[in-house]
Structure 1
Amino acid sequence: MESNRTHKKIRMHDGIVGTLYLISVVLGFMVNIQWLYLAGAVAFLQIVSPLTKFCPVYFILNKFMPDTEPIQDGKRS
């Protein structure tokens, strides 16, 4: 069974990615439409990460939370 801290790591990942999407849309609407490229890049990484087993956000969270099970660190199947 996964630990509570692992669930917290997953929720943090979802919060970070969701915040990036929201920031991109708000900046695209208020500043410059080219900010939507940020949302496109995040979406691309979310599509590619299950195939490559590497996610930059999980890479950082794995470093900050070493006492939890690594998620998408490129080593797990």
Structure 2
Amino acid sequence: MALEALAEVAGAALRLCGRMLFEIVVEWLIYGTGRLLLWPFYRRKPPGDTACLCAGVGFWLLLLLAVAWSRTALNA
């Protein structure tokens, strides 16, 4: 009985931490970056979520590739 209650509390805490991590990574880093990149092109209305997602993922992938390329170029 007490073990079940402890497991329920631990599950709720893990769900809360997972939700916070999801909010930080997806909402702030990906959607936020996409909105920031697309803002000059959509001044009258906000861009859609799909456009923000694609722009954000594309930005982070390009940044990752640029860092990887620069590390290999500097080490050569």
TM-score norm. by structure 1 comes to 0.37
Larger radius of gyration: 2
TM-score norm. by structure 2 comes to 0.37
